[in-house]
Structure 1
Amino acid sequence: MTKSIETLRLHHSEIKSTFAHHYSNGPLEGTNNKIKVVKRVSFGFRNFHRFRTRLIYTLKIHTKKVLITK
């Protein structure tokens, strides 16, 4: 219990700011996780453009058609 209290004292200002501001890096972490899963599943793609297209479709990113084609 002493270690927990010491940690709270050490990080008091950061903990206080998390209650004051409602920002989270959760969506960014979710996107990174999706990219890692696609990389794991598509291991062996020889063509980077196909891999990139698969990522764009998986993440539902809306881009111009010019950026997707080779």
Structure 2
Amino acid sequence: MHHEEIHNTFTNQYSNGLLEGSNNKIKAIKRASFGYKSFFRFRTQVLYVFKIKTKKP
């Protein structure tokens, strides 16, 4: 079946765990912020949670 893929998971040290965690965190923010009228506020909340600094527009 998927013998080569399973073998690769044990031989390589790559993982998508960080990406999955980020996606889960963004989904949780979306659920908690249901009803935001402004995408800018939602984006700001996501950037704040991930502590990402951006340039001012």
- Tell me, yes or no, whether TM beats 0.5: yes
Of residues 45, 51, 57, the one that matches 1:60 is 51
**Per-residue CA distance 1:17-55 (angstroms, 9 max, x = gap):** 111111001000000000000000000111111111011
Answering whether residue 12 of structure 2 is matched by residue 21 of structure 1, we say yes
Counterpart AA for 2:54: T
Of residues 23, 31, 55, the one that matches 2:22 is 31
Structure 2 unmatched ranges of 5 or more: none
Q: CA deviation at 1:65?
A: 2.5
| Distance (whole Å) between structure 1 residues aligned to residue 54 and residue 11 of structure 2 | 35
Q: TM-score, normalised by structure 2?
A: 0.89
Q: Cα RMSD between the aligned structures?
A: 1.0
Q: What number of residue pairs does the alignment pair up?
A: 57
Structure with the higher fraction of residues in helix conformation? 1
Q: CA deviation at 1:13?
A: 0.8
1:4 alignment partner in structure 2? none
